[in-house]
Amino acid sequence: MDSINRLENYLRTNFPELNLEPPLFYHSAVGIRFEIGVPYRGIEHPSYFQTVKMRSIMLFEQIFKAVDEICIVVHTYDSLHGFEVMNEGINVLPTFIRNKNIVDHVDCAELEREYDEDGKLQGISYQSCLWCRRDEIDYKRILIAIGYQDFPSFKQPYISDRVYFINPRSHVIYHLYDDRGLDIVSNHPFSIRSLYQKYNNWILDYDRERIENIFKGF
């Protein structure tokens, strides 16, 4: 459990008030919410998923450089009822690990159990964690698969788990929640100010005023 213990210690030290769950942007005092799929859910446009791919990967590579150590955190829900398909997608870890020498470094722990009103167990949530270098995982395929999570009928690989990427050097957390948008949070505005400036036109207009207030004076 060394990887999970390290993750918990890191979050406790650097993000003591943050719950690693969606909507991450609204759980953090410092963050940006980017619009990834444009036009909104415009799946009839041939270029829609290309835009999702381009924006999500471009922002990822601005945060995580090839030499960077990253922490990838995966939250999975397993339903105990076969008729409830809660998690059909590809298992992120170890499927997307490029360096097979680090597969054994993945830690997994139970997060919580869900019960119905009669006290019957309905499902279990798990957290998997891996610390590695950026290019030891196939992050591009992960991001593309997240973009298809709401479209299993498209016959494309997709991920239904929640996947968080952490840069422990810059203290930035990246969460692509689906094809619509992406939350990037930090413990200080300076760490993500360049993203705010460079990709300002990608910011989700609904949250723009809140985001602009975060970066006033920085």
- pLDDT tens for the chain, 218 residues long, are 799 999 999 999 999 999 999 999 999 999 999 999 998 777 888 899 999 999 999 999 999 999 999 999 999 998 887 545 544 677 899 999 999 999 999 999 999 999 999 999 999 999 999 999 999 999 999 999 999 999 887 878 999 899 999 999 999 999 999 999 999 999 999 999 999 999 999 999 999 999 999 999 87
Task: Report cis status (omega within 30 of 0) of the bond before 46.
Answer: no
φ, ψ dihedrals at 203, nearest 5°: -65, 140
**CA–CA distance, 128 with 137 (Å, rounded to integer):** 14
φ, ψ dihedrals at 106, nearest 5°: -75, 125
What is the pLDDT at residue 196? Answer: 98
**CA–CA distance, 183 with 161 (Å, rounded to integer):** 16
The pair of three-digit structure tokens given for residue 59, joined into one six-digit string: 């922002």
State the number of CA atoms in the 13 A half-sphere of 43 facing the CB: 9
Count other C-beta atoms under 10 Å from residue 153's C-beta: 7
What is the pLDDT at residue 79? Answer: 83
